[in-house]
Amino acid sequence: MQSPNNLKIAIIGAGPASLTLAAILHHQNLPFTIFEAHTSLRNEGGSLDLHPATGQAALKEAGLWAQFVKHARPESDVAKAVDLITGEVYFDQNGPDKEETEGKSEEELFAGRPEIDRGALSKILYESLPEASVKWGKKLVKIEPSATAVKGKHDLYFADGTEERGVDLVVGADGAWSKVRSLLSTIQPQYSGISLIESWHRDVKSNPWLHDYVGAGTMFAFGQDCAVISQRQGDGSVRTYACLRTPEDFIQTCGIDWQDQDTARKDFVEQYLSHISEDLKWVVLECKDFSIPRSLYELPPTFTFSHREGVTLIGDAAHLMTPFAGIGVNVGMTDSLSLARQIITASKGEKTPDDALREYEADLFPRVEKAMQKTLHGKETHFTENGTKKMVDMMKGH
Ligand SMILES: Cc1cc2nc3c(=O)[nH]c(=O)nc-3n(C[C@H](O)[C@H](O)[C@H](O)COP(=O)(O)OP(=O)(O)OC[C@H]3O[C@@H](n4cnc5c(N)ncnc54)[C@H](O)[C@@H]3O)c2cc1C
Q: Mutual orientation of helices 278-286 and 261-272 as an angle, nearest 10°? A: 160
Mean pLDDT of 358-382: 96
For residues 331 and 317, is the Cβ–Cβ distance under 8 A?
Answer: no
Instruction: Give the whole-angstrom CA distance, residue 232 versus residue 141.
Output: 37
pLDDT band at 98 (very low <50, low <70, confident <90, very high): low
Q: Which of 4, 10, 13 shows the shortest CA–CA distance to 332?
A: 13
Residue of minimum CA distance from atom 12 in ligand 1: 328
Which atom of ligand 1 approaches the CA of 329 most closely?
11
| CA pair distance 69, 50, nearest whole angstrom | 11
pLDDT digits (tens, 9 = 90+) for 318-339: 999 999 998 999 999 999 999 9
DSSP assignments along 267-298, one per residue = HHHHHHSTTS-HHHHHHHHH--SEEEEEEEEE
pLDDT at residue 260, rounded to an integer: 92
**What average pLDDT does this structure show over 12-18?**
98
Q: Ligand 1 in contact with 18 (CB < 6 A)?
A: yes
CB proximity list for 212: less than 8 A, separation 6 or greater: none
| C-alpha of residue 16 to centroid of ligand 1, in Å | 7
Q: pLDDT grade, residue 5 (50/70/90)? A: low
Sequence letter at residue 300: P
330 CB under 6 A from ligand 1?
Answer: yes
Nearest-CA residue for atom 52 of ligand 1: 323
Of the listed ranges 40-44, 101-105, 294-298, 330-334, the one predicted with least confidence: 101-105
Report the pLDDT value the prediction gives residue 99, as an integer from 0 to 100: 52
Side chain identity at residue 257, one-letter code: D
Q: What is the Cα–Cα distance from 213 to 279, expressed in whole angstroms?
A: 9
Q: Is there an atom of ligand 1 within 6 Å of 119 CB?
A: no
175 lines ligand 1 (CB under 6 A): yes
Is 54 a pocket residue for ligand 1 (Cβ < 6 Å)?
no
Mean of all residue pLDDT scores within the chain: 93
Rounded Cα–Cα distance for residues 384 and 373 (Å): 17
Using a 6 Å cutoff on CB, does residue 181 contact ligand 1? Answer: no
Q: What is the atom index within ligand 1 of the atom nearest the CA of 320?
A: 19
321 closest CA partner among 245, 372, 378, 248: 372
Instruction: Give the tens place of pLDDT for each residue, 146-204.
Output: 987 678 999 999 999 999 999 999 999 999 999 999 999 999 999 999 999 999 999 88
pLDDT > 50? residue 249 = yes
Tell me the pLDDT tens digit for each residue of 340-359: 999 999 999 999 999 999 99
The pLDDT of residue 96:
59
Check if 14 has its Cβ closer than 6 Å to any atom of ligand 1: yes
Q: Is 323 in the pocket of ligand 1 (CB under 6 A)?
A: yes
* pLDDT tens, position by position, 35-71: 999 999 987 778 899 999 999 999 999 999 999 999 9
- Nearest-5° angle of CA 73, CA 52, CA 74? 15
- C-alpha to C-alpha distances, 294 to 179, 299, 352, nearest whole angstrom: 21, 17, 42
Burial class of residue 267 (count of CB atoms within 10 Å of its CB; 0-12, 13-18, 19+): middle
112 pLDDT tier (thresholds 50, 70, 90): confident
If you measure from the C-alpha of residue 3 to the centroid of ligand 1, how many angstroms do you get, rounded to a whole number?
Answer: 33
Q: Where are the domains of the chain?
A: 4-76+114-188+300-375, 192-297
| Ligand 1 contact, 22 CB (< 6 A) | no
Q: Is the pLDDT of residue 388 over 60?
A: yes
Atom of ligand 1 nearest to the CA of 198: 1
Residues 265-292 have a mean pLDDT of 95
Q: Kindly provide the residue ranges of all beta strands, DSSP E only, lying in 50-139, ordered along the sequence.
A: 79-82, 89-92, 115-117, 134-135
For residue 372, report the distance from its CA to the centre of ligand 1, in Å. 15
Q: How many residues does the chain have?
A: 398
Tell whether ligand 1 has an atom less than 6 A from the beta carbon of residue 332: yes
Identify the pLDDT of residue 210: 94
Q: Which of 300, 319, 55, 58 is nearest to 178 (CA)?
A: 319
According to the model, what pLDDT value does residue 102 have? 65
Percent with pLDDT over 70 in the chain: 96
pLDDT band, very low/low/confident/very high, at 1 (cuts 50, 70, 90): very low
Closest-CA residue to 21 (of 308, 315, 305): 315
Strands (E), the chain: 9-12, 33-35, 47-49, 79-82, 89-92, 115-117, 134-135, 140-145, 154-158, 163-167, 169-172, 190-201, 218-223, 226-232, 238-245, 290-298, 311-313
Q: Is the CB of 142 under 6 A from ligand 1?
A: no
Which numbered atom of ligand 1 lies nearest the CA of 138? 43
- Ligand 1 atom with minimal separation from the 49 CA: 9
Q: What beta strand segments (E) does 301-390 contain?
A: 311-313
Domain 4-76+114-188+300-375 matching CATH 3.40.630.40: the answer reads: no
The CA distance from 151 to 153, in Å, is 6
DSSP state of 258: T
C-beta of 329 in contact with ligand 1 (< 6 A): yes
* Spatial contact of 154 and 308, defined as CB atoms under 8 Å apart: no
How many Cα atoms are found within 13 Å in the side-chain-facing hemisphere of 185? 20
